[in-house]
Structure 1
Amino acid sequence: MKIIPSLKLYFFAMMLVAGVTTISIMSFVSYKYFVYGVNIAMSDSMRSIANIENVSEGNPISINDFVVANRWQDLPSIIQEKLDPNDIKENELLKAMDGMPPFTPPIAVYFAIKLNVDGQVRFISTIFTTKDQPNTGFDGPPPFINLLIIALSVMALFTLTPYLILHKVANPVEKLMLWAKQLNKKQLSLPAPDFHYSELNSLAKIVQSSLQSVQTSLKREKRFLGYASHELRTPIAVTRTNAELLRKMISKGISSEKQLLVLDRIERASITMTDLTETLLWLNRQPDKSIPVKSISLGLMTQQLLEQLTYLLNGKNVDVTIETDISIHSLPEALCQIVITNIIRNALQHTQEGTITIQQSKSHLVINNQNIRDDKHEDELGFGLGLELTEKLVQHYGWQYENVATANGRHVEINFR
């Protein structure tokens, strides 16, 4: 099982390690500087009395706590016992102590130095013991315990401070995480809450913007699938019907000329499916870009589309009349095909018995249907989807469009100019 690291624990551990390391290093440096300062002060004190007169062999002189002699052998016996004369070097302080500094105060500290004063060798020594210190009447803990308490207190402060900071930062982060987890379609439309920090607010806006983009993409893809399934039904039906017809014609040995006519309808249907797919993709992804235009005959296109959609009249008593001309117009062919297909399909679907008139003149197309029998027949994909797509295309190209209900039918008029 893989252990996933926590940012909170990582930050807390790093702050704790940094604090303990810093305190330990500073404590060590402080101790070293304290010892160095004591050595310097002691050396200066010894140098200040090194030039005292009347010092001779076998006759050391004591000044306060210091002993000045010309020979090592003249120094106090305890100094000679604690310090090795072979270790002493000119102008360098030699030191030894009884005890375990820094854990406990030293019991005694022994100092000696060798100096050259006007060509004469001088040995200076002194001893400091705790017995020499005045009794304060306070039997408290050893100094090391005090230092340990101070160090632990500072470490606790180092631990508490990042914990409070982390707590202050972690709460808004957890709030952001909970908000992002509970985001739904409704909340995406609302402004993001305030998370107290500009970085978290920026992150919340990025999350919201990304999810809104995903939501928009899903809606766009869903709409595309609806449009595609709605628009491709007719060419698919034409392809299947004519493929079956072509198979029967081949089996019965019908003339190749008639077979080529059926094959031509299948090819037109496949081209229609290709154009419809490309147009729907364009409409779904790049609605701001113009689609190429072609020189087309609206009359011929209307006739061909009506022929492809006549299967919707099977079993119905509907009289269809169509009037077209041969005028040519520069228009986006696939878009015109989608619009005219939807208009004709809706008229055929919603007329159970009655009449349908289709009139095309130049760029003007009018379709009227009169339904004598009052049957409510709604296709499972619905009139609404085709109407939505038609209105979207018409609005995009600025075509004049009218779709109104009449007493027993519907009047649809569109001008592709």
Structure 2
Amino acid sequence: MKRGLSLKWLVVIVFLVQGLILVVGYSFLTAHYLIQGMDNMVTSNMEQVAHHYLEETANEAPKKPKQYHNYIVTTQWSALPEEIKTLFKQSEITPNKLFKAHLSEESPPKVKFLFHLKKRNQKVYVTYGMSRSTASALTIKNITNDFQTLIMISVLSALSLALVILLLSWRLGRPITRLGQWARTLASEKLNQPTPNFNYPELNAFAELIRSNLKAVQETTEREQHFLRHTSHELRTPITTIRSNVELLKKLDAKSNQRHQQLAIERIDRASLTMKHLTETLLWLHHDRAEQLPMKECQLNDVIQHLVDDMRYLLASKKVTVTIETKPYTHYLPEAAARIVLGNLIRNAFQHTWEGNVNIIQEKNTVKIINEQHANSEQEDLGFGLGLQLTERLCQRLAWHYQNEQQAMGHSVTLVFPDTK
């Protein structure tokens, strides 16, 4: 598995680089404005010198060049020092603007300034030179302090920004790491537990999304497993019926007993239809399909009798008496689901009665199945729970009344089909 740069460190590096760019940029901008402020001071001084020169030489014609400390003032370009005329071109000099040139090759380095003042019809050129040796100690100290302060502020800003970003990434990284560890250890038994608090609503919402999605996947998997178990459980009866009647047909073929052959064929036909309807019903139940199951008019007493006949093999070698009390009654309902539910109830009664009575009573749309156990037995069929679970789910889904009561020696089950007419 490739291990690239983690999201945490990517964010940290991006913010650090962006922060350093801002710090360096603002540092250069501050230095620029600091130098521009010094230039403005020099310009102001040179302008004052030019005005002083004009006032002092107001009565002189022509005006002669003069020097005030390090300032040289003249009205003629030709009267400027040769060094100034070499550094600057007269054609590029515009009035009321400061020009400067750096002589870094000299030792110590120097800066030459030229200011051209134009007032009414008078023109004045002012030059000024500055170096470390000519500047006052106070000026050098102030400039040095200013740059040191600027550098110190820049460094402290960069360090504080880096510290804040690292603290922020650590603060954000802890709950994200906890979220990853929690997601990796999220087992099926933890899916019904509430999600932990990861300090931030977005992470809590993401954790809840992970839990709900995994829970949905687990429920889908369990539904499929239940479907397979239900299918294998429910198909046993029709498969057994088909197999036993095929064997019967083989034996009857030799004896040419047409009546028994016809009965065997009818049982095989019912069993195959039961398997078909069972598959459709289970798919409808386990996949939450919205459409209704096909409805038809069913003769309840005939359905019960056929189911009892198909499952009598479960009573082989058992001392069980089956009593059936039915009355002809036609009801409009989903036949496949009715056969599954009634078949489950009859099968459970036959399987769990080892010595006793099974009473099946049908009156109109109400069916009661009562099994009375005369002798206790430890034997138990593993499919019993699945059958009841499927019965309960179908009855709940179809809004059929279903009641299962445990009695002293058995169970009493009541099933009422709703009147749809």
Q: 2:165 aligns with which of 162, 165, 181?
A: 162
Of stretches 10-19 and 221-230 in structure 1, the one that deviates more from structure 2 is 221-230
Partner of 1:339: 341
CA 1:140–1:231 in 2, change beyond 3 Å: closer, same or farther? same
Aligned CA RMSD, in angstroms, stands at: 3.7
Q: CA deviation at 1:278?
A: 2.6
Secondary structure, in 3 states, of the residue corresponding to 1:377? coil
Q: 2:183 aligns with which of 166, 180, 183?
A: 180
CA 1:308–1:168 in 2, change beyond 3 Å: closer, same or farther? same
1:70 pairs with 2:75: yes
1:313 pairs with 2:310: no
Partner of 2:391: 390
1:230 pairs with 2:233: yes
Q: Distance in 2 between matches of 1:37 and 1:93?
A: 12
Q: Is the 8 A contact 1:57 1:74 kept in 2?
A: no
Post-superposition Cα deviations, 1:175-198, rounded to whole Å, max 9, x if no partner, equal: 222233333344333333322222
Q: Distance in 1 between matches of 2:2 and 2:184?
A: 23
1:189 pairs with 2:192: yes
Partner of 2:111: 109
Q: CA deviation at 1:398?
A: 4.5
Q: Distance in 1 between matches of 2:412 and 2:74?
A: 132
Secondary structure, in 3 states, of the residue corresponding to 2:127? strand
Amino acid aligned to 1:273: M
TM-score (norm. length: structure 2): 0.81
Written as runs of structure 1 = structure 2, the 5 A alignment for 1:36-51 is 36-48=36-48, 49=50, 51=54
Q: Distance in 2 between matches of 1:120 and 1:351?
A: 130
TM-score (norm. length: structure 1): 0.82
Secondary structure, in 3 states, of the residue corresponding to 1:131? coil
Structure 1 gap segments, 5+ residues each: none
Q: Distance in 1 between matches of 2:389 and 2:81?
A: 114
Q: 2:301 aligns with which of 291, 299, 302?
A: 299
Secondary structure, in 3 states, of the residue corresponding to 1:192? coil
CA 1:412–1:148 in 2, change beyond 3 Å: closer, same or farther? closer
Q: CA deviation at 1:44?
A: 4.4
Partner of 2:224: 221
Partner of 2:271: 269
Post-superposition Cα deviations, 1:351-374, rounded to whole Å, max 9, x if no partner, equal: 345554434333343444455565
Amino acid aligned to 1:151: S
1:241 pairs with 2:244: yes
Q: 1:208 aligns with which of 211, 219, 223?
A: 211
Partner of 2:131: 129
Secondary structure, in 3 states, of the residue corresponding to 1:132? coil
Q: Distance in 1 between matches of 2:94 and 2:411?
A: 122
Q: CA deviation at 1:125?
A: 0.9
Q: Distance in 2 between matches of 1:134 and 1:413?
A: 113
Q: Distance in 1 between matches of 2:151 and 2:144?
A: 11
CA 1:375–1:68 in 2, change beyond 3 Å: closer, same or farther? closer
Q: CA deviation at 1:215?
A: 3.5
CA 1:243–1:87 in 2, change beyond 3 Å: closer, same or farther? farther
Structure 2 gap segments, 5+ residues each: none
Q: Sequence identity, in percent?
A: 34
Partner of 1:89: 93
Post-superposition Cα deviations, 1:282-312, rounded to whole Å, max 9, x if no partner, equal: 3334499865543211110011111211222
Q: Distance in 2 between matches of 1:135 and 1:66?
A: 19
Of stretches 59-68 and 114-123 in structure 1, the one that deviates more from structure 2 is 114-123
Q: Distance in 1 between matches of 2:411 and 2:118?
A: 127
Q: Distance in 2 between matches of 1:139 and 1:90?
A: 31
Secondary structure, in 3 states, of the residue corresponding to 1:126? strand
Secondary structure, in 3 states, of the residue corresponding to 1:273? helix
Q: Distance in 2 between matches of 1:106 and 1:307?
A: 121
Q: Is the 8 A contact 1:293 1:331 kept in 2?
A: yes
Q: Is the 8 A contact 2:27 2:150 kept in 1?
A: no
Q: Is the 8 A contact 1:224 1:280 kept in 2?
A: yes
Q: Distance in 2 between matches of 1:3 and 1:87?
A: 64
1:29 pairs with 2:29: yes
Partner of 1:279: 281
Q: Distance in 2 between matches of 1:339 and 1:378?
A: 20
CA 1:327–1:280 in 2, change beyond 3 Å: closer, same or farther? same
Alignment size in residue pairs: 409
Q: Distance in 2 between matches of 1:36 and 1:334?
A: 94
Q: Is the 8 A contact 2:392 2:402 kept in 1?
A: no
Q: CA deviation at 1:328?
A: 1.0
Partner of 1:153: 156
Partner of 1:350: 352
